[in-house]
């Protein structure tokens, strides 16, 4: 009979829960406090939000690695003495051993990831599989036999590398302590691994490429950063014979802006074409869907602007995973993942018959919303120096980064004010930092002439003579609703039924009007 000490069982149970929880969620902090006690007192309830606590975080991780390794050794000795132990005891031990393996491999894997993502550092080396395998055998073989509860080393190695890539992509790229950013980090992790890491590890790791991801949010709010983080964090198998992963994760992201080209060129970029398929097709072209490996991702930016005819072909890709190049009857297969993004109101576009309902429901099973910079700063004003510092460190290092950050904050405080709405979101903040770095100042775009001014944009749309009657009506009803603050008041102003107002209001446009200051409410069924 297997006899772990009561203290070791308690500690092992904490580690088991730690291995399964979202590292960016509140449960992780509570479990770390339970496991390390006062050792994490400085980290607070949300350590991952504050990069200035990174050193303390590394110290806590180091202590975790030491403690989990010591616990694994004690529990393994008990299993050896009991001839392998019962299934429940082995299962508990395996979780502790995997936790120790992850933390032992964390430093070299993080170094390999950083090298791969840093320009000028050359071709990154693959993390050391031989060292991992030796350590795996030490921990996961008892009595000379592999524990039946654990998978083969190549899969474990690939999974641990994936966990490290996901942690790196989320932690080092998405900065901020606001509630919207906290929630976004947690949701990105779930998009990659689901909410059940055990289920993912056992079966779903090979299937999640079949689930598209839809990212919505204001222009400039980081949708492509989120898409890249998801793409870089996909599961990639390790080929033992070749001594490397079957694909380099930095080569797996294929992005196209669907609003930047004509429908014919977009279709060619996505599906490819044969010579002579259309005027100007002078040679065969391989499209993104053909070039993308099963472990890659195709990022469709501005999906709301996709031509209706191409929407039909994209729907076929998502439904049957099949497509054909322009001018070719041969069917090809796409086994990668589709990530789409838009700042448009897709439900409104569906009502206007400009976006297919069946395509939307193929895309929306996994949906993420990137918050506006204004919403982040309203929730957490102290994020501005952190975000400015994050941008500054992309250009200069050390004390120079601190000085540039201070210059930018002084300029914002003196000229724009901390209440500035940042209509261009994080993209505008980046331009502000660059402009201050170059000229010592930043001049925002003229609001009435920019898309950030929602009211000005609506005026231009109303006077452009390009809107359909349906589009014009929906936009005007939404504008009146945002001014009157209720369905009833808007109905009285428009001399129509309350139900008509409610059916016509565009929620995304209401949010834009509220963010810009032109409106102050969102649709509410009680109003």
Burial of 229 (0-12, 13-18, 19+ CB in 10 A): buried
Q: At residue 247, does pLDDT exceed 50?
A: yes
Question: Is the Cβ–Cβ distance between 350 and 360 less than 8 Å?
Answer: yes
In this prediction, residue 346 has a pLDDT band, given cuts at 50, 70 and 90, of very high
What average pLDDT score do residues 427-439 get? 96
In this prediction, residue 280 has a pLDDT band, given cuts at 50, 70 and 90, of confident
Question: Is the Cβ–Cβ distance between 266 and 310 less than 8 Å?
Answer: yes
Q: How many CA atoms lie within 13 A of 423 on its CB side?
A: 19
More confident site: 8 or 46: 8
In 345-495, which ranges are E strands?
A: 366-369
More confident site: 442 or 455: 442
Domain boundaries, the chain: 6-176+192-206, 225-369, 382-444, 454-516
What average pLDDT score do residues 248-276 get? 91
22: left (phi over 0), alpha (psi -120 to 50) or beta: beta
Which of 16-20, 288-292, 402-406 has the weakest average pLDDT?
Answer: 16-20
Q: How far is CA 339 from CA 41, 124, 225, 260, 367, in A?
A: 39, 26, 12, 17, 10
Tens digit of pLDDT for each residue in 318-337? Answer: 999 999 999 888 999 999 99
Q: At residue 39, does pLDDT exceed 60?
A: no
pLDDT confidence of residue 6: 92
pLDDT confidence of residue 56: 54
pLDDT confidence of residue 314: 96
pLDDT confidence of residue 53: 47
For residue 125, the 8-state DSSP code is P
Tens digit of pLDDT for each residue in 110-155? Answer: 889 998 988 765 555 777 899 999 999 999 999 889 999 899 999 9
Q: How far is CA 418 from CA 341, 431, 513, in A?
A: 29, 17, 20
The torsion defined by the Cα of 58, 62, 68 and 74, in degrees rounded to 10, comes to -170
In this prediction, residue 1 has a pLDDT band, given cuts at 50, 70 and 90, of low
Q: At residue 446, does pLDDT exceed 90?
A: no
For 242-285, the DSSP string reads: TTEESS-GGG-EEEEETTSS-HHHHHHHHH-B-TTSSTT--S-B
More confident site: 57 or 287: 287
Closest CA to 353 of 305, 308, 303: 308
Q: Which of 186-200, 268-282, 493-507 has the highest mean pLDDT?
A: 186-200
pLDDT confidence of residue 522: 45
Cα end-to-end distance, the chain, whole Å: 65
pLDDT confidence of residue 30: 79
Which of 128-132, 167-171, 481-485 has the weakest average pLDDT?
Answer: 481-485
pLDDT confidence of residue 194: 96
In this prediction, residue 517 has a pLDDT band, given cuts at 50, 70 and 90, of low
Q: What percentage of residues in the chain have a pLDDT greater than 70?
A: 88
Q: At residue 501, does pLDDT exceed 60?
A: yes
Q: What percentage of residues in the chain have a pLDDT greater than 90?
A: 57
Give the Cα separation of 269 and 50 in Å (integer).
40
Q: At residue 64, does pLDDT exceed 90?
A: no
In this prediction, residue 26 has a pLDDT band, given cuts at 50, 70 and 90, of confident
In this prediction, residue 58 has a pLDDT band, given cuts at 50, 70 and 90, of low
Q: At residue 297, does pLDDT exceed 50?
A: yes
Q: What is the mean pLDDT of the chain?
A: 87
pLDDT confidence of residue 329: 85
What average pLDDT score do residues 1-21 get? 88
User: Which CATH architecture describes the domain 225-369?
Assistant: 3-Layer(aba) Sandwich (3.40)
What average pLDDT score do residues 3-22 get? 90
Burial of 77 (0-12, 13-18, 19+ CB in 10 A): exposed
**How open is the CA angle 93-97-103, to the nearest 5 degrees?**
150
């Amino acid at each position: 009979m297997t006899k772990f000490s009561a203290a070791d069982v308690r500690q092992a149970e904490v580690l088991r829960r730690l291995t399964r929880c979202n590292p960016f969620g509140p449960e992780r902090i509570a479990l770390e406090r339970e496991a390390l006690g006062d050792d994490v007192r400085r980290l607070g309830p949300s350590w991952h939000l504050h990069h200035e606590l990174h050193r303390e975080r590394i110290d806590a991780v180091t202590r975790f690695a030491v403690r989990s390794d010591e616990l694994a050794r004690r529990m393994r000795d008990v299993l050896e003495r009991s001839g392998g132990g019962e299934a429940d005891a082995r299962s508990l031990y395996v979780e502790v051993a995997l936790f120790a393996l992850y933390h032992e491999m964390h430093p070299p894997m993080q170094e390999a990831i950083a090298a791969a993502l840093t320009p000028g550092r050359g071709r990154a080396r693959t993390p050391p599989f031989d060292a991992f395998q030796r350590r795996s055998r030490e921990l996961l073989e008892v009595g000379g036999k592999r524990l039946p509860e654990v998978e083969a080393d190549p899969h474990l190695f690939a999974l641990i590398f994936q966990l490290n890539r996901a942690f790196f992509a989320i932690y080092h790229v998405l900065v901020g302590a606001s509630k919207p950013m906290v929630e976004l980090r947690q949701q990105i992790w779930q998009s990659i691994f689901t909410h059940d890491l055990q289920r993912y590890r056992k079966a779903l790791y090979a299937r999640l490429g079949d689930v598209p991801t839809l990212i919505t949010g204001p222009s400039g709010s980081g949708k492509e950063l989120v898409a890249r983080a998801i793409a870089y964090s996909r599961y990639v198998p390790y080929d033992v014979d070749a001594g490397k992963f079957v694909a380099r994760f930095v080569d797996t992201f294929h992005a196209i802006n669907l609003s930047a080209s004509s429908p014919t060129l977009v279709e060619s970029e996505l599906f490819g074409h044969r010579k002579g398929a259309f005027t100007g097709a002078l040679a065969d072209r391989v499209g993104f869907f053909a070039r993308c490996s099963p472990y890659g991702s195709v990022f469709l930016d501005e999906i709301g602007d996709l031509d209706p005819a191409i929407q039909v072909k994209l729907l076929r890709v998502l439904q049957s995973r099949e497509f054909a190049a322009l001018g070719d009857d041969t069917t090809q297969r796409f086994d990668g993942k589709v990530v789409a993004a838009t700042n448009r109101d897709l439900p409104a576009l569906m009502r206007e018959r400009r976006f297919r309902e069946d395509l939307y429901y193929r895309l929306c099973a996994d949906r993420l919303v990137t918050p506006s910079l204004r919403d982040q700063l309203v929730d957490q004003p102290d994020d501005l120096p952190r975000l400015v510092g994050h941008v500054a460190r992309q250009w200069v290092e050390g004390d120079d980064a601190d000085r540039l950050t201070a210059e930018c904050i002084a300029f914002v405080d003196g000229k724009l004010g901390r209440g500035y709405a940042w209509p261009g979101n994080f993209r505008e903040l980046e331009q502000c930092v660059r402009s201050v770095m170059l000229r010592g100042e930043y001049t925002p775009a003229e609001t009435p002439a920019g898309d950030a001014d929602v009211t000005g944009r609506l005026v231009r749309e109303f006077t452009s003579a390009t809107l359909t009657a349906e589009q014009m009506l929906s936009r005007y009803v939404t504008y009146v609703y945002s001014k009157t603050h209720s369905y009833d008041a808007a109905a009285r102003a428009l001399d129509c039924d309350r139900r008509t107002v409610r059916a016509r209001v565009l929620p995304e446009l209401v949010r834009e009007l509220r963010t810009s200051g032109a409106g102050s409410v969102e649709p509410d069924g009680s109003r």
